[in-house]
Amino acid sequence: MLPAPTDPALEVEERAAVRYAFVVALQALPPRQRAVLLLRDVLGWSAAEVAGLLSSSVASVNSALQRARAGLVGAEPVGEPDQAVLDAYCAAFLAHDVDAVVSLLHADVTMSMPPFQWWLRGRSDVALALEHGSYCDGHTLVPVSANGAPAFVQYDAAGEAFALVVVSTSGGAVVGTTTWLVPELVPLFGLPMSSGSPVRSSGYGTDR
């Protein structure tokens, strides 16, 4: 978690910086660099801890972090979300309707799950992964917004924070989903780690 600044103004500034870096990383960085940036700059892990998780070396982690930070410079701003696609995606997810989810995907859709290096491209590969998994049956979504980008906090069937999901849309389809399997991110969006009855909703909420 983020260290607690003594100055409230500093805390606001720090959280804003984290949110901006988070959104830019989702759009601009390769999976490995995203994972390293998240673990080092957002969650405050040491280079050695990250290296252990990613089965890498400290030098490699430091190099990836340097490239990730450089990749933030000059990144394009977040585009306008397609609310109709987001509504349909949320409804299909909550209904556990894999076919409906797949129908919303762009042919070149990407799917990733940081901090792991798992990454897929293409509707057929993503569909295969969804069809052969439980696809979070019984999970719920709470809409939030990450610096203008639509996102959902995902709670499991027991009401425990599970992940933060960012959905990118373009041309009337979902072009990318990034499921951050880091529940510690949830409080950054003003939501609890545990909720007995998460709100089922569509769209996306107040900017965070």
Higher-confidence position of 176 and 208 = 176
pLDDT of residue 197: 54
Q: Are residues 63 and 91 in the same domain?
A: no
Query: Which residues contact residue 115 at a Cβ distance below 8 angstroms, ignoring those fewer than 6 apart?
Result: 35, 38, 39, 53, 54, 180, 181, 182
- Tally of domains within the chain: 2
Residues 34 and 130 in one domain: no
Percent of the chain with pLDDT over 70: 72
CATH number at residue 34: 1.10.10.10
Q: Render pLDDT for 106-158 as a digit per residue (tens, 0 to 9).
A: 999 988 887 777 788 899 998 888 877 666 778 889 988 765 667 899 998 88
181 in any annotated domain: yes
Strands, DSSP E only, in the chain?
105-112, 119-121, 140-146, 149-155, 161-170, 173-180
Helix, coil or strand: residue 55: coil
pLDDT of residue 37: 81
Shared domain for 30 and 103, answered yes or no, is no
The residue-averaged pLDDT of 92-117 equals 87
**Is the predicted pLDDT of residue 9 greater than 90, yes or no?**
no
Tell me, yes or no, whether 197 lies in a domain: no
Whether the per-residue pLDDT at 14 is higher than 80: the answer is no
- Are residues 2 and 44 in contact, defined by beta-carbon separation less than 8 angstroms? yes
Contacts 24+ apart (CB under 8 A), 12-17: 15/188
Instruction: Please check whether residues 165 and 135 belong to one and the same domain.
Output: yes
Query: CA-to-CA distance for 80 and 32, rounded, in angstroms?
Result: 26
Are 115 and 148 contained in the same domain? yes
Q: What is the CATH number of the domain that holds 108?
A: 3.10.450.50
Both 130 and 106 in one domain: the answer is yes
**Quick one: 66 and 115 in the same domain?**
no
For residue 135, is it within any domain?
A: yes
Assess if residue 195 is contained within a domain. Answer: no
- For CA atoms 50, 54, 55, 59, give the dihedral sign: negative
Cα torsion angle, 132, 22, 105, 30, sign: negative
> What is the tens place of the pLDDT at every residue in 35-73?
888 788 767 889 999 999 889 999 999 999 998 888 766
Stronger pLDDT, 102 or 206, i.e. the higher one:
102
The mean pLDDT of 190-197, rounded to a whole number, is 80
Give the pLDDT score at 161: 92
Residue 14 domain flag? yes
The span from the CA of 88 to the CA of 100, in Å, is 8
Q: What pLDDT does residue 51 have?
A: 92
The helix-helix angle for 8-28 and 58-71 (nearest 10°) equals: 90
Last residue of a domain, one of 17, 41, 71: 71
Are both 112 and 64 inside the same structural domain?
A: no
> Could you tell me which residue, 59 or 205, shows the higher pLDDT?
59
Residues 94 and 24 in one domain: no
CB 35 within 8 A of CB 54: yes
Beta bridge partners of 120: 111
Per the structure block, which two tokens stand in for 24? 């830019």
Same-domain pairing of 109 and 183? yes
**CA contacts within 13 A on the Cβ side of 46:** 3
| Domain that residue 154 falls in | 83-189
- Quick: pLDDT tens for 149-191: 678 999 988 899 999 888 888 889 998 888 888 888 888 888 8
128, 97: one domain:
yes
Confidence class of residue 85 from pLDDT cuts 50, 70 and 90? Answer: very high
Same domain, residue pair 58 and 153: no
| Per-residue model confidence (pLDDT) at position 63 | 94
pTM: 0.62
Q: What is the pLDDT of residues 15-35, one digit of tens each?
A: 544 554 555 455 567 778 878
Using alpha carbons, select from 37, 40, 39, 44 the residue that is nearest to residue 3: 44
